[in-house]
Amino acid sequence: MRIGSIFENQNLEKRIAITPEIVKKYISLGLEVCLVENYGLHLGIKDEHFIEAGVKILKDEMEVLNSSDMIVQLSMLSEEQISNIKENQTLIGVLNPYNNKEKLEKLSNNKINIFSLELLPRITRAQSMDILSSQANLAGYKAVIESFANFEKAIPMMMTAAGTVPAAKVLVVGAGVAGLQAIATAKRMGAIVFATDVRMASKEQVESLGGKFLTVEGSENLETEGGYAKEASDDFKKKQEELLSETLKKIDIVICTALIPGKKAPVIIKQNMIENMQAGSVIYDLAAIQGGNTAFTEVDKIINRNGVKIMGESNILNKLPVSASNLYAKNMFNFVDNLFDKENKKININLEDEIIEKTIIK
């Protein structure tokens, strides 16, 4: 059996799904690996590195698609690429089923096996495959670095003969994987860190990292069985707004990470809150691609509103593509390892396995 991967649209996505380190693992399973020419060159990985690991390099991406039993990618293929996939082939990636219904339907009608890794269940056995966690970890770290780079004051407290520079105050909105990494990173760099989340289970995690958890009075626990945040009630939103309005007046940097899978991001930081913030403050919105957590977020722009900078990128991981690719490739291999029947050297779609059952798109 052959596993293959081709270029992403590099204007949108610089990560790759197979790295030289992971090639050896696929070969040890009994799979042949083929990649398109110059597959990792933009990350400084020459074809020679892949060839040394045992990869077959093909000049034409359509040839890779045609000849691979399994195709592993980051994002959804184009219409032309889809037309080159044959019956019974398998496509695995982060396929965004909420936005790619027509393409997925076409693939399904052509009897292609489709797996989308953002649908992985939050269970212990799936942790090594959890692309949302591995990538969010890096995103949370990088969001702090980017916002600190745009903040025109020092971050840690500094005591000098000329006087004391106060520590920057950071608020992290949403204490999931990205938020917790943002808290840890900001704390390591000397900031005073506050955090808020609709899931009460986050309080202990925030405090263990040295952050102060802001609790909405009479809070309800808004956590799904799968461990994700769910929509808050109007009463909760009102109380949260009041708490945030007062808190934001003294905050220097805000990192927004609040997302609801498959839905528009909740607008948590309203216009009046931003207008009451100190000039020179920075908001980094990791939810920008899903509409943003602020009233003014625009994708790939820095909006200046009354001296407050509001930042949001379509894909922050394009700024860490080597680290992100290494983690993604490992997640992908672990998923394929679970899907692959090593004894019979074929894909085994066992729908009694919760990991396979939840990620397959029918």
> Can 325 be counted among the known catalytic residues?
no
Q: How many Cβ atoms sit within 10 Å of the Cβ of residue 217?
A: 9
Strand, coil or helix: 4: strand
**CA–CA gap between residue 135 and residue 17 (Å, rounded):** 13
Of 106, 255, 287, the closest CA to residue 179 belongs to 255
C-alpha dist (Å) from residue 311 to 251, 269, 358: 16, 13, 34
Q: Which helix (H) or strand (E) holds 354?
A: helix 354-359
> Can 15 be counted among the known catalytic residues?
no
Q: Which residue is catalytic, options 219, 228, 305, 353?
A: 228
C-alpha dist (Å) from residue 305 to 244, 272, 273, 293, 302: 18, 11, 11, 15, 10
Q: Who contacts 239 (Cβ-Cβ below 8 Å, separation ≥6)?
A: 216, 217, 218, 219
Q: Which residue is catalytic, options 127, 208, 233, 271?
A: 127
Q: Which residue is catalytic, options 73, 89, 133, 202?
A: 133
**E-state strands within 233-300:** 253-256, 282-285
Q: Who contacts 349 (Cβ-Cβ below 8 Å, separation ≥6)?
A: 113, 339, 356, 360
> Can 147 be counted among the known catalytic residues?
no
**CA–CA gap between residue 59 and residue 69 (Å, rounded):** 18
Q: Who contacts 352 (Cβ-Cβ below 8 Å, separation ≥6)?
A: none
> Can 133 be counted among the known catalytic residues?
yes
Q: Which residue is catalytic, options 130, 197, 252, 285?
A: 130
Using alpha carbons only, give the angle 315, 321, 325 rounded to the nearest 5 degrees.
110
Q: Which residue is catalytic, options 122, 219, 278, 323?
A: 122
Using alpha carbons only, give the angle 220, 121, 224 rounded to the nearest 5 degrees.
10
**CA–CA gap between residue 73 and residue 332 (Å, rounded):** 9
Q: Which residues have a catalytic role annotated? A: 122, 127, 130, 133, 228
